[in-house]
Amino acid sequence: MRLSELKCKEVINEKDGKRLGNITDIIFEPKTGCIESVIIPGQMRLCNMFGKAEEYIIPYKCICQVGEDVVLVCIDAEKFSY
């Protein structure tokens, strides 16, 4: 699977069914080349005027399944929001 294909998929949290957004970036382990985590931007703040939105940095081990249209993760959203 290519990064461009992964970016088109919507990420949904299995725990609460919440749509988190789309993957915008991936963090790799430099030595092995394995995916370490995925980054998903959070909701934008009021009129984009009060700073950048938080983002979710989700470890690869929290990804449950990658389907044709969605990626299912199992996380506590507050824990992985930065």
Residue in this structure with the two tokens 């990064």, named with its chain if needed: 3
Task: Return the pLDDT at 1.
Answer: 75
- 38: tokens are 């995925």
List the beta bridge partners of residue 19.
12
pTM for the structure as a whole:
0.77
Map out the domains of the chain as residue ranges.
Answer: 3-73
3-73 belongs to CATH 3.40.50.970:
no
Arithmetic mean of pLDDT, 12-38: 91
pLDDT digits (tens, 9 = 90+) for 28-63: 999 998 989 999 987 665 555 555 567 889 999 999
Task: Return the pLDDT at 66.
Answer: 92
Residue in this structure with the two tokens 């009021």, named with its chain if needed: 46
- Which 3-state string (H, E, C) describes 7-51? HCCEEEECCCCCEEEECCEEEECCCCCCEEEEEEECCCCHHHCCC
Task: Return the pLDDT at 37.
Answer: 93
